[in-house]
């Protein structure tokens, strides 16, 4: 990273170069290491020079978010709303896993950025082309953003949040301590029952991709059922 700064020192700053460096810094060192001062140092520049390209740190974060959202695949040219939506969501997931700081950064901002609105808009477009009423499409979009537990369980993984330490080897599996197993027997049971892995381990023992697709298909199948029934909010199923 130091050599990179060396190479680029003389090339002029630009908003794009600032944002790109910020994303790299957050990816590699963690979002808590992203300060205007650290970022300037990475770019071989005095801190105040950044303010020529971003108004302040909030705008920097917005720009970073838009850069990440731009990595999501565009909708495939396909008429099957279910397949298109599924692939789009899985693409977004891949992007968010590449940039572990991004999901929380997006949630922490209180206005959606333009790129994010564009992404959501095209997701709704896919549903509309699939024959969804605006009414049902509306509720579906909300459902996609809901978290029943109030937080995303996937995020309980230290190795994800902290910056990658250069190497890509996974963390050593954290054992489920015996005392915790006694206190939380049900959690211990489902941790060990994870059939796709054979260890008595939480977190590391779960196949996150499997779990994600499980939830995704649960939702998509339910949505498909409502869609086929011609569901409207004025005529709810229950």
Partner DNA sequence: ACCTGAACACCGTTCAAGT
CA distance 133 to 208: 32
Report the site for DNA in 11-40 (rule: CB under 7 A).
34-38
Of 48, 147, 166, 167, the residue at the interface with a second copy (CB under 8 A) is 147
CB 72 within 8 A of CB 119: yes
Piece in contact with a second copy (CB under 8 A), picked from 7-15, 34-42, 74-82, 98-106? 98-106
CB 104 within 8 A of CB 147: no
Piece in contact with DNA (CB under 7 A), picked from 42-50, 64-72, 151-159, 205-213? 42-50
* Residue 63 vs 203, nearer CB to DNA: 63
51 binds, among a second copy, DNA, none (CB under 5 to 8 A by kind): DNA
Residue 131, both tokens: 């024959």
Buried b vs exposed e over 153-181: b needs ≥16 C-beta within 10 Å? Answer: ebeebeebeebeeeeeeeeeeeebeeeeb
Report the site for DNA in 51-110 (rule: CB under 7 A).
51-52, 56-58
CB 60 within 8 A of CB 22: yes
Of 63, 93, 204, 227, the residue at the interface with a second copy (CB under 8 A) is 93
**Contact set with DNA (CB under 7 A):** 34-38, 45-49, 51-52, 56-58
């Amino acid at each position: 990273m130091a050599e990179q700064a060396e190479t680029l020192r003389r090339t002029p700053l630009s908003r794009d170069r600032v944002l790109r460096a910020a994303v790299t810094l957050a990816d590699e060192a963690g979002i808590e290491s992203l300060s205007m001062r650290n970022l300037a140092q990475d770019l071989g520049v005095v801190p105040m020079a950044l303010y020529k390209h971003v108004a302040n740190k909030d705008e920097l974060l917005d720009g970073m978010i838009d850069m990440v959202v731009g990595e999501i695949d565009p909708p495939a040219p396909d008429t099957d709303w279910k397949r298109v939506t599924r692939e789009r969501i899985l693409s977004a997931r891949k992007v968010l896993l590449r940039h572990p700081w991004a999901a929380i950064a997006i949630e922490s901002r209180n206005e959606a950025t333009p790129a994010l609105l564009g992404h959501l808009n095209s997701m709704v477009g896919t549903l509309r082309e699939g024959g969804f009423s605006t009414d049902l499409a509306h509720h579906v979009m909300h459902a996609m953003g809901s978290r029943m537990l109030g937080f995303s369980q996937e995020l309980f993984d230290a190795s994800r949040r902290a910056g990658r330490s250069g190497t890509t080897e996974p963390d050593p599996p954290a054992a489920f301590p015996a005392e915790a197993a006694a206190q939380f027997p049900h959690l211990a049971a489902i941790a060990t029952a994870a059939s796709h892995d054979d260890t008595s381990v939480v977190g590391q023992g779960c196949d996150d991709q499997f779990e994600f697709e499980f939830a995704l298909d649960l939702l998509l199948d339910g949505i498909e059922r409502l869609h086929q029934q011609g569901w409207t909010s004025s005529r709810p199923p229950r």
